[in-house]
A = this chain, B = another copy of it.
Amino acid sequence: MEAVYYSQNPRFYVAVDCIIFCFEDGVLKVLLQQRDFEPFRGEHTLMGGFVQENEDVTQAAQRILEERTGILYVPLEQVGAFGSPNRDPGARVVSIAYMALVDKHLCNDSLNAKHNGFWVNVYDLPSLSFGHDEMVHKALARLRIQIGKTPVGFQLLPPMFTLSQLQHIHEAILNEHIDKRNFRKRVADMSYIEKTDKIDKTTSKRGAALYRYNQLEYEKSLKAKL
């Protein structure tokens, strides 16, 4: 059928590029790769690859994420399609960018090393090839819009966390200091952040209350808004 219907149209390579975020040392980081292959050998890019036959585009992004970090079952969110004709000197490639937030402790460092992967502060990004900078900036802008409105960042925290830990994630994403009192007021309005009866005593003698994220409460709060 193909020849009959569509053959007058061009075909392009379709790639996926993954913006993989983690939180480490108080900093929001993104996984990059130093290329040891052409084009742009030696330069920096996101982790990416080509969509294969019989593979959904989202499946391709999941495959790349797993190949490079060992991580499965993390939600991947589409950031957008990038399709300018000259974005890749190798050929016409339309790329679909996906973002994921991962727990750094779950990443397989040897897979990472095998692909020349390294983490950098997203606010101190080197120059990236193929317009990957733009993808990172779009993903970051999306994250910054989401934070505060939706439960962003819990994927980066242990199941129980202190409000200071949560605040540090917000600060890392927004790249700015947040007033502690204002932050606690905002959290108090989020019915889906629940205080537990557990105390974290690792950082002070008095300790800090541990909180947890409640997905069901979040869904309820969404319905209440409609």
Contacts and interface: CB of A to CB of B under 8 A. Distances in A.
A84 interface: yes
* Copies held by the complex: 2
B84 A81 contact: no
Interface in A78-96: 78, 80-85, 89-94, 96
A58 interface: yes
Contacts of A39: 1, 5
A51 interface: yes
Contacts of A218: none
A55 interface: yes
Interface residues of A, number: 40
Contact of A94 (B38, B51, B174): B51
B2 A90 contact: yes
A52 B10 contact: yes
Interface in A15-52: 38-39, 50-52
B53 A10 contact: yes
A79 B52 CA distance: 23
A56 interface: yes
Chain A interface mostly:
loop
Contacts of A174: 226
A54 interface: yes
Contact of A85 (B50, B56, B85): B56
A9 interface: yes
B89 A1 contact: yes
A128 interface: no
B92 A94 contact: no
A5 B93 CA distance: 12
A73 interface: no
Interface in A191-220: none
A174 B225 CA distance: 13
Interface in A97-147: none
A90 to B, nearest CB: 4
B13 A13 contact: no
A57 interface: yes
Shortest 5 CB-CB contacts between residues of A and residues of B: A57-B83, A9-B50, A2-B91, A11-B11, A5-B90
